[in-house]
Amino acid sequence: MSTWTRSTSMGLLFIVLAMGRAAGADLADALDTLRAVGPEGAGNEAATVAWQQAAQVDVSRVPQLLAGLKGANPLAANWIRTAVDAVCERTLRNGGTLPKQAFEQFVLNTDQDPRARRLAYEWLLKVDPAAEGRIVPQLLDDPSVELRRDAVARLIEQGEKAVAAKQTDEAAKLLQQAFDAARDRDQIGTIVKLLKDLGREVDLVTHDGLIVDWQVIGPFDNTDEAGFNKVYPPETAFDASAEYQGKHGKVAWLKYRSEDPAGKVDLYKALEETLTRISEKLQERDVVAYAVSDFHSPSEKTVQIRSSTMNAIKTWVNGVLVDEHNVYHAGSQFDQYQADAVIRRGSNRIMVKLCQNAQTQSWTETFAFQLRVCDAIGSGIVSAE
């Protein structure tokens, strides 16, 4: 190789490396801008420019884009994921392919953002459908609920085949594995039915981390829905032996254990003796009640408090208000409300304030809630005692 050729090659290499570094720096800057978007449209105008930069990168830079989703706020995440879509889509339309190995490594890296991994997985399958068979069996305990779902679905399918083949024990084993791993309600429902058909008991209360043991007190007044913001004595201090002035007279804490398989805490039932019925069909309206439960944890951690109710609700953990919804009879579904909370080592006090308004339509004859403690993907956490 001549000196000239060697010099030229070195020069070209330098230029390529410099361009790569510049492109990398540009993408890093663009990601910083995208990650800086915030509420009320803050950062949108700068993000528009940064998105164009991110969406124009070579497909080899997509793992960097995907990594940018880690820790991104939900608004920023959508800026970044649409850029990923744009790059991958453009590449495939132009006859290119995706860096399969890098994508697969990204999918299997549980340190990365769960939804970013799922995004990589879905693009990977477009160019390498066989990846499903390699990857899915590894995902049963995955921190990504979307990836885990595929692994659970695979086990359900295997369990159903075992049921069809009358291999009852094998089916029950597979389905129990699926049940333990499942976090999506539709899958859990399917598995529970299959297990019950096999004569196997399932414990949803433990699986979901539902709290069924409570102390309840009420009613207090909620005329004109004013009770939601009124501070009644239980909100200021908890004293299990105390009596307070309620809506109709003195009220005291009562122990209540829900026997409902789904952990529903029916306050009309729990407080039946203290309420004044409107008619045979209608239980009392315009009332507030409180429910308290002690939850023991072996360590301090951040958990999610997930609740559902048709009534207005406030939830406190150790005196800190973590969630509130001043909404009545607008529907109720499992995990309707989700809030992060920090629980400490030892005993923690969870308190719910539930409010019933004056509506008397048939669908308003409910004064109940369901509450569970779980991790970020919905894995139930039960009290240590």
Task: Report the nearest approach of another protein to the CB of residue 272 (Å).
Answer: 27
Nearer to another protein by Cβ, of 238 and 328: the residue is 328
Told to check if 248 binds another protein by CB under 8 A, we report no
The residue from 39, 95, 129, 133 that contacts another protein (CB under 8 A) is: 39
Told to check if 86 binds another protein by CB under 8 A, we report yes
Task: Report the nearest approach of another protein to the CB of residue 57 (Å).
Answer: 14
Taking CA 261 as the corner, what is the angle to CA 194 and CA 201, rounded to the nearest 5 degrees? 40
- Find the binding residues for another protein in span 137-156 (CB under 8 A): 146, 149
Task: Report the nearest approach of another protein to the CB of residue 326 (Å).
Answer: 7
Task: Report the nearest approach of another protein to the CB of residue 58 (Å).
Answer: 18
Identify whether the C-beta of residue 251 lies closer than 8 Å to the C-beta of residue 217.
yes
Told to check if 359 binds another protein by CB under 8 A, we report no
Nearer to another protein by Cβ, of 133 and 331: the residue is 331
Structure tokens at 343: 């629980």
Binding track over 96-135 against another protein, x by CB under 8 A: -------------------x--------------------
Told to check if 53 binds another protein by CB under 8 A, we report no
Cα separation, 93 vs 284, whole angstroms: 64
Task: Report the nearest approach of another protein to the CB of residue 359 (Å).
Answer: 11
Burial of 327 (0-12, 13-18, 19+ CB in 10 A): middle
CB atoms within 10 A of CB 99: 18
Whether the ω angle into residue 63 lies within 30 degrees of 0, i.e. cis, is no
CB atoms within 10 A of CB 359: 13
| 3-class DSSP string for 232-292 | CHHHCCCCCCCEEECCCCEEECEEEECCCCCCCEEHHHHCHHHCCCCCCCCCCCCEEEEEE
Q: Which of 327, 310, 315, 323 is nearest to 366 (CA)?
A: 310
Cα separation, 37 vs 27, whole angstroms: 16
Binding track over 159-198 against another protein, x by CB under 8 A: -------------------------xxxx-----------
The residue from 7, 52, 229, 359 that contacts another protein (CB under 8 A) is: 52
3-class state of residue 208 by DSSP: helix
Of 17-25, 36-44, 164-172, 284-292, the window that binds another protein (rule: CB under 8 A) is: 36-44
Structure tokens at 250: 């003195």
Told to check if 47 binds another protein by CB under 8 A, we report yes
Determine if residue 129 is left, alpha or beta; phi over 0 gives left, psi from -120 to 50 gives alpha, anything else beta: alpha
Told to check if 40 binds another protein by CB under 8 A, we report yes
Told to check if 326 binds another protein by CB under 8 A, we report yes
Q: How many residues bind another protein (CB under 8 A)?
A: 39
Q: Where do contacts with another protein occur on this chain (CB under 8 A)?
A: 37, 39-41, 44-45, 47-48, 51-52, 55, 73-75, 77-79, 81-83, 85-86, 89, 115, 146, 149, 184-187, 325-328, 330-333, 336
